Structure 1
Amino acid sequence: MSHILVVDDEPALLRALRISLQARHYSVLTAGTGQEALDSVGQAPPEALVLDLGLPDLDGVDVIRGVRSTLDVPIIVLSGRADTGEKIRALDAGADDYVTKPFVMDELLARLRAILRRPVTTVPGPPPRIGPYEIDLAAATVTGPDGTVRLTPTEWKILALLMANPGRLVPGRQILAEVWGPEGAGHGNYLRVYLAAMRRKLEADPGRPRHLVTEPGIGYRYQP
């Protein structure tokens, strides 16, 4: 089952595309803005992207460039812009195909099947860091100027959750639920203790953290 992200600001069209794709056994996520699309790509990379250019917050071409900076995922532009210059701009930015609205669903599906035949590769980025410390989540290692820093299994769970959402707020209740399960919901003090310990190990100034940031009363964020 291929995972497809469909991005368009027309709810009726999103619904029609989702129904048609799911009926053909695709897994479908939808987004109504460019930022939602980029966030979705960062959290769950799709195997193909169907993208409108006329989004309310970002130009679709900028979304293409943002996706292309991290993924070699196939992209089909689905747009009401029939101007040749717009098509060239989108294709030059990294789109693989361009379908003009109104369109025939069977043709769009045929084009989707065609681009899914080629392999998708990920462009590796630099490893995440907290100050001078390099974090390898896959190997569960932290390496700094003086060698390896040891984190406990619970600290690793918290760090991995925060780093999966760089720059974004992760509610404290979500961390408690994912790390400790239902029984952790009423124990925010657990989280404060572990974050304090992690800051002592990783922050240059634990009292004024730059990377493992608290949003009082709401949650925490990893700030790259």
Structure 2
Amino acid sequence: MRRIFQTLLSPYNCIFFKTLKEFSFEWSKATNRPTLLLADLSLPDGSFLKWMEENQNFHQNVTCCIVISGQQDIGPMRASLDLGAFDYIVKPFVPAEVQIKVERILNNLQLPLILDPTTHSVSFNATSTTLTSKQFQILSMLHASYPVGITREDIQTSVWQNTKVNQKNLTVHLSLLRTKLKDVGLNINHQKSTYVLEPL
């Protein structure tokens, strides 16, 4: 099966894992959120469904998850979807089916946003606005992680690095950025502990 996926997903930057242990180790130290995760429920050293149950917030750190399984029972399918999986594919499957679903998901995730680092301007749907340096850096982070959210800690670490920032100051930057983005049809949605970029 790995060869099949290596062929199907060759146009994309992919990392493959053989075991749940290997995946869990890489996941725990990952700094970049994956855009798409494809996982077989039955791995040589454990169940991915059990891992999902033990890491119920995993979907906050991955844009989309597709589960693949040889189990046709409704139980595992429902549990996977309830725990954050986007889709459930039953084996045996037609390789083209997976390819089409992956392409559709990735195409739908694209946000037609144009960022100009020279002028700190942003264009969306033929409308533009100019940002401050800090606002532009924050927007760049939001765009890079779209549609997954980023935390205040993410912003502080990336934009201000080792400099201590007053939380009120960060709130002001986010508020002013949100106001400017509304002029071009974008919004920063605050979901629990994360900030997510979205079209209005």
Q: Which TM-score applies when normalising by structure 2?
A: 0.52
| C-alpha spacing 1:78/1:141, structure 2 compared with 1 (3 Å) | same
- 1:94 maps to 2:115: no
Q: Which residue of structure 1 aligns with residue 39 of structure 2?
A: 51
| C-alpha spacing 1:97/1:144, structure 2 compared with 1 (3 Å) | closer
Q: Equivalent residues in 2 for 1:1-224 (5 A)?
A: 13-22=1-10, 25-41=11-27, 42-64=30-52, 65-71=56-62, 73-119=63-109, 120-125=146-151, 127=153, 136-143=157-164
Q: Is the 8 A contact 2:37 2:66 kept in 1?
A: yes
Instruction: For 2:47, give the aligned amino acid.
Output: D
Quote the offset at 1:31 in angstroms: 0.9
Quote the offset at 1:110 in angstroms: 1.0
SS at match of 2:16: strand
| C-alpha distance in 2 between matches for 1:30 and 1:108 | 16
User: Is there any run of 5+ residues in structure 2 with no aligned partner, and where?
Assistant: 110-145, 167-200
Quote the offset at 1:57 in angstroms: 4.2
Quote the offset at 1:97 in angstroms: 0.8
| C-alpha distance in 2 between matches for 1:100 and 1:39 | 27
| C-alpha distance in 2 between matches for 1:117 and 1:20 | 16
SS at match of 2:8: helix
Identity percentage of aligned residues: 25
| C-alpha distance in 1 between matches for 2:49 and 2:152 | 25
Instruction: For 1:121, give the aligned amino acid.
Output: P
Q: Is the 8 A contact 2:60 2:148 kept in 1?
A: no
Instruction: For 2:161, give the aligned amino acid.
Output: A
Q: Is the 8 A contact 1:70 1:124 kept in 2?
A: no
SS at match of 1:31: coil
Quote the offset at 1:83 in angstroms: 0.8
| C-alpha spacing 1:82/1:112, structure 2 compared with 1 (3 Å) | same
SS at match of 1:50: strand
Structure of greater Rg: 1
| C-alpha spacing 1:62/1:45, structure 2 compared with 1 (3 Å) | farther
Quote the offset at 1:115 in angstroms: 1.9
| C-alpha spacing 1:30/1:88, structure 2 compared with 1 (3 Å) | same
Deviations 1:117-143 (A, max 9, x none): 333422334628xxxxxx724322243
User: Is there any run of 5+ residues in structure 1 with no aligned partner, and where?
Assistant: 1-12, 129-134, 146-224
| C-alpha distance in 2 between matches for 1:44 and 1:144 | 23
SS at match of 2:98: helix
Q: Which TM-score applies when normalising by structure 1?
A: 0.47
Aligned length: 125
Quote the offset at 1:81 in angstroms: 1.4
Superposed CA RMSD:
2.9
User: Which has the higher relative contact order, 1 or 2, with Cα contacts under 8 A spaced 6 or more apart?
Assistant: 2
SS at match of 1:107: helix
